[in-house]
Amino acid sequence: MYRLTLKCLALKLLLLISCDARHNLYWRGNRRSIAEGESSGTFNVLDFGAKGDGTSDDTKAFEDSWNEACKVAASTLLVPSGSTFLVGPISFLGKECKENIVFQVNFQEIKEKKTEKCYSSIFSYIVVYLDILQLDGKIIAPTSSSAWGSGLLQWMEFKSLTGITIKGKGVIDGQGSVWWNKSPDYDTADENDMIKDQEGTKMPGTKPTALRFYGSNGVMVNGITIQNSPQTHLKFDNCVNIQVSDFTTSSPGDSPNTDGIHLQNSQDAVIYRSTLACGDDCISIQTGCSNIYIHDVDCGPGHGISIGGLGKENTKACVSNITVRDVTMHGTTNGVRIKSWQGGSGSVKQVMFSNIQVSEVANPIIIDQYYCDGGGCHNETSAVAVSNINYINIKGTYTREPVRFACSDSLPCTGISLSTIELKPATDKASSSDPFCWEAHGELKTETLPPIQCLKTEKSTSQSSNDAC
């Protein structure tokens, strides 16, 4: 079944979507087509009172321009170049909105010939016609504690929208250093702690995600940079038909909990041609995710690309059909990782990690069914089942341990497949280390370096009610 799925994916990747309809933008989900040149409304935040001086509060101007843009289908909300906009916590709600709104960050047109670009999402088949654009400028978050009240989960939120695009070459800056400050007042394990802002007052212990999409269909993020987020940079929650491309995150490797892209309860997503530098997982895939395709991503610094942690506090987690390929990782703590808490239920299945190049990565390949973040964990018999996990052409250098499969005693990992694995200790940074396996069952398709002799011969297992999804 899984081989058939991979063949289907390969065939879809070879599809050439014709550009004969190059003057139209098609979204399969809502079956709308918008002809190029059709006036659909552009709303510039400067026209609604935004100052763009980096110190005046432009939140109301953004709210007012959004409210007007919402009334017009296929409208564009324009955040122009050459300005820095200070914007407080804000929600762009879609309940009363028309479809296919473009949130364009800092637009500046270059007088050059138009070019055609066809993008084929293997899931939602989106065709986009683009001009050549150069996008500059910034949106910045407030650093005063008074703007955040007792604490918020997100800074900028787009909610309940159909066909929403954020594009540009502009920067969304969360100014997160005031939240990361490792003073005696700061303890990442205690959400009740407060962090001092630049004026000496205390920031709330709950750190916000910079940009969150919730309950939306047909989401496109293209070209923008999110930097210095207080916590996660870009989050998708309960969304379908997602496309992220040419996206950049930029935060220090020691900035706490600053995931690059976080997906939760979301399906049919493609993430590609992106550069992710952060202090946590470059990409984090959580429960409820399926049909996620990630390729041509550069990761580092950070914690690698992770599925999980799943099953925390005895919850059920279901993740399936995940492909990660053509990825480079450098200086990360982990490479490709699956992690789950003891006591959970559900399953992770049909996962492919292919063509992964690692450089000075501490732990390139990990399955950990004993994940415990923060201590206080104890042994439990139930677990999130892990099966049909394929590793193909993973090469490079490690600094700690090349391969670690720590699987559950009661629910061992099954269907692990490895082919063309070549991992060497980084020069002067690691001694040669043997792979570790515990209750890991699978097959070596080729010889591996180092030899993975600890993998047990595959055994057939029937699905229990515990891991059914």
Catalytic residue among 58, 303, 368, 467: 303
Cα 73 from Cα 107, distance rounded (Å): 20
Listed residue (419, 445, 446, 448) closest to 435, CA to CA: 448
Catalytic residue among 197, 237, 259, 280: 280
Joined together, the tokens standing for residue 141 give 């978050």
Q: Could you identify the residue written with the tokens 């930097």? A: 227
Does 303 qualify as catalytic in the annotation?
A: yes
Cα 280 from Cα 112, distance rounded (Å): 39
Q: State the DSSP H helix or E strand holding residue 297, giving kind and residue range, or none if neither.
A: strand 289-299
DSSP single-letter state for residue 370: T
> Beta-carbon neighbour count of residue 174 at 10 Å?
29
Helix (H, G, I), strand (E, B) or coil at 203: strand
Cα 169 from Cα 105, distance rounded (Å): 7
CA quadruple 84, 87, 90, 92: dihedral sign: negative
Cα 284 from Cα 307, distance rounded (Å): 6
Cα 425 from Cα 450, distance rounded (Å): 10
Joined together, the tokens standing for residue 204 give 């709330």
Do residues 45 and 78 make contact, with C-beta atoms less than 8 angstroms apart?
Answer: yes
Joined together, the tokens standing for residue 207 give 């750190």
Find the radius of gyration of the CA atoms of the chain: 23
Strands 90-93 and 154-159: parallel
**Catalytic annotation, residues:** 280, 303
